[in-house]
Amino acid sequence: MKTLQNHTLIYDNECPMCNIYSKGFTKCGMLDENGREAFTELSLKNKNLIDFKRAKNEIALVDHNKNEVVYGLDSLLLIIGNSFPVLEKIARIKPLYWFFKKLYSFVSYNRKQIIPSKKDDSDQSCIPDFNLKYRIAYITFVIFFSAYILSLFTAKLGLNLEHHFLREFIVCLGQIAWQTVFLKAYLKEKLWNYLGNMMTVSMIGTLLLIPILFISLNPTFNVIYFGIVVSIMFLEHLRRCKILKLNYLPTISWMIFRMTVLVILIWINFLRFK
């Protein structure tokens, strides 16, 4: 690896994803050993160079030779391109560059909903601005992904439920509508933050179901496994509400909706085969 000398990457030390890839750059030699600096521990020199607000949304890379700063995708491409010039040239082809830039923003603006931090209540914390477009994009992505996987999984539960994407899609939308209607007055300015975290809980559950799709097992085992997944989701929902400094109300409402849907599906299925 070719080391990018005299550059410092200003990373969000309260974000596990940022920690991992920035540490990876130094470990593999793409940045020198002191080539990264925590956002909450900025030196005075770097603090005066960077756009503090922009650096919360797009990771900053300081060039100490020119006293210049690049941000976001460009900072990552500069580091990668120093060791792999061909990869940088490919990534900078206009359609690809547009896609990667959107993908970077998609992750960056939702990173605190993907992996929340307990230390996000300080002005010095690296908290991205709220971006409605990317929050809706994240929620929409999880809805479609979860609905598709759930439509495949429910057919393996032995409850005579067929593969039905629209049914699961409506359930996912219903969860958001239910929580929004019943909790809007309680959540207030935390509504979008909560919805983003709730959808990550759904994403976690969905990912845990995927391995079962490739294994032919007894329906009883699948039901038990599904119960375990729901329990994990329940505990994760509680944990995230605690981080958001919310009480048990969102979790209770979340469980009531899920139990209601389950009862309705079982009842409809019973009427079909009565």
Q: What is the pLDDT along the chain (274 residues), one digit of tens a residue?
A: 788 899 999 999 888 888 888 999 999 889 988 899 999 888 888 888 999 899 999 999 999 999 999 999 999 999 999 999 999 999 999 999 999 999 999 999 999 999 988 776 566 788 999 999 999 999 999 999 999 999 988 877 766 666 788 989 999 999 999 999 999 999 999 999 999 999 999 999 999 999 998 888 787 888 899 999 999 999 999 999 999 999 999 999 999 998 998 888 777 766 665 5
Q: What pLDDT is recorded for position 87?
A: 93
Domain count, the chain: 2
Residues 137 and 264 in one domain: yes
Residues 78 and 159 in one domain: no
Q: Where are the beta strands (DSSP E) in the chain?
A: 7-11, 36-38, 60-63, 68-71
If you count them, how many residues does the chain have?
A: 274
Task: List the domain range (segments joined by +) for residue 20.
Answer: 7-114
Q: What pLDDT is recorded for position 54?
A: 93
Q: Which residues pair with 125 in a beta bridge?
A: none
Select from 142, 261, 262, 161 the least CA-distant residue to 206: 142
Q: Taking the model in full, what pTM does it have?
A: 0.91
Residues 106 and 187 in one domain: no
Residues 82 and 176 in one domain: no
What are residue 159's phi and psi, to 5 degrees? -105, 15
b/e per residue, 196-208, with b = 16+ CB within 10 A?
bbbbbbbbebbeb
Q: Name 207's Cβ contacts closer than 8 Å, sequence gap at least 6.
A: none
Residues 106 and 145 in one domain: no
Residues 97 and 228 in one domain: no
Q: What pLDDT is recorded for position 266?
A: 72
Residues 25 and 104 in one domain: yes
Residues 85 and 164 in one domain: no
Residues 103 and 147 in one domain: no
Nearest-5° Cα angle at 21, 17 to 27 = 140
**What is the Cα–Cα distance from 110 to 246, expressed in whole angstroms?**
19
